[in-house]
Amino acid sequence: MATWGVSATIKAPTAQILHWAAFHLEAGADCLHIYIDDGNREAFNALKTHPKVNVTLCDERYWEKRKGARPPTHQVRQTVNATHAYRNAHDLDWLIHIDVDEFLIADQPIGATLSALPDSTLTARIRPMEQLSGTPTAFKAFIPNSPDRARIVADLYPTYGAYLKGGFLSHLAGKVFARTGHDKIHVRIHNVFQAGQMVPTTELLPHIDLAHAHATSWESWLAAYRYRLTKGSYRAELAPNKPYDKGGLSMHDLFTMIEAENGEAGLRAFFEEVCEDSPDLRARLTKHGLLRQVDLALNAPIDTYFPYKTL
């Protein structure tokens, strides 16, 4: 069976980090390469006690050695660290970079799925599913790109569907497993490059999903909203859901328009239609075969993996 691991650059409360790490160790990860993106020594000290966790505190000394100075954007820090993890994953067959709000869900051992890939396969993609707000167990599934996608999204979200790429707030690209041991590899957030060229990732892994807890509650979403709008997944430079001359809007454009017209009340109305767990949304998702029920089991015993934690 193939060995596999996860890399992540994380800035989050200690409990969230340990839940995420315990989840993937329970899922069978052979190694976690975790880069602490702030000065969270509590998380660092807890993580380093586990033999399958390789944890790095990304302080000023670390960045001075790696890049001369700390890169100002988290996207650059993620790609630097993901590439560093790849080049140091000597005991793994495969490595994937994900975030602290993303979880690998599989209906069979992940190592077995990866073992079945042809030896010539360098990368393999997993698609996301997005959590409904207010529940840890309900998700909206990825809608494959097809002539029917726009119609389905409009049916799911009557007011805002025309502006949503695949019906998701966050990315549709998913994340990529990379086979280790190859030269001149640079890992980006959603793709892998070799010798400066993007590696075409045509292999999809239908037995593995990326459960994305992008908006777990209205309060948490609103707390992260302003950062995402300026520097994160809703920032201005990201592309619209379709060309502007065909009526498309980027998420940045959409939210700016909503706020200009109706302020926070408008954002709340958007959130209730698109994100919030409700009988109506569940019914619409079920109608199209897009409701997924998954128990992330985030209350699994952390003490099993991190008995010396202090929370």
pLDDT value, residue 239: 86
Asked if residue 18 belongs to a domain, the reply is: no
187 beta partners = 192
pLDDT value, residue 300: 63
**Number of C-beta neighbours around residue 264 at 10 A:** 11
pLDDT value, residue 134: 92
Asked if residue 77 belongs to a domain, the reply is: no
In the three-class reduction of DSSP (H, G, I as helix; E, B as strand; rest coil), residue 138 is classed as: strand
Which residues are CB-neighbours of 134 under 8 A, at least 6 positions away?
216, 217, 276, 277
Pairing of strands 31-36, 185-187: unpaired
pLDDT value, residue 296: 77
Closest CA to 144 of 176, 166, 162, 171: 166
The span from the first CA to the last CA of the chain, in angstroms, equals: 35
Asked if residue 137 belongs to a domain, the reply is: yes
| Total domains, the chain | 1
* CA distances from residue 266 to 218, 238, 257 in whole angstroms, order as listed: 13, 22, 9
pLDDT value, residue 245: 82
Tokens of 185: 């590899």
Its domain, for residue 137, covers 118-180+211-298
Asked if residue 85 belongs to a domain, the reply is: no
Centroid of chain to Cα 62:
24
Contact 251, 259 (CB under 8 A): no
pLDDT value, residue 298: 64
Q: What is the pLDDT of residues 166-201, one digit of tens each?
A: 999 999 999 999 999 999 999 999 999 999 999 999
Asked if residue 259 belongs to a domain, the reply is: yes
DSSP code at position 5:
E
Pairing of strands 94-97, 4-10: parallel
Q: What is the pLDDT of residues 46-97, one digit of tens each?
A: 999 999 999 999 999 999 999 999 999 999 999 999 999 999 999 999 999 9
pLDDT value, residue 210: 97
Tokens of 58: 């990304």
Q: Is the pTM of this model over 0.85?
A: yes
Asked if residue 168 belongs to a domain, the reply is: yes
pLDDT value, residue 299: 61
Asked if residue 263 belongs to a domain, the reply is: yes
H helices of 13-165, where?
Answer: 14-26, 41-47, 60-67, 74-87, 110-115, 149-156
Which residues are CB-neighbours of 240 under 8 A, at least 6 positions away?
248, 249, 250, 253
Asked if residue 23 belongs to a domain, the reply is: no
Q: Among all chains, which residue has been given the structure tokens 């099993």?
A: 304
pLDDT value, residue 303: 85
* Distance separating alpha carbons of residues 273 and 268, to the nearest angstrom: 9
Residue type at position 2: A
Tokens of 22: 């315990």
- pLDDT mean by block of 10 residues, the chain; 311 residues: 98 94 96 96 95 96 93 95 97 98 96 97 97 94 93 96 92 96 97 97 94 95 93 89 84 94 96 96 97 79 78 51
Tokens of 18: 């340990």
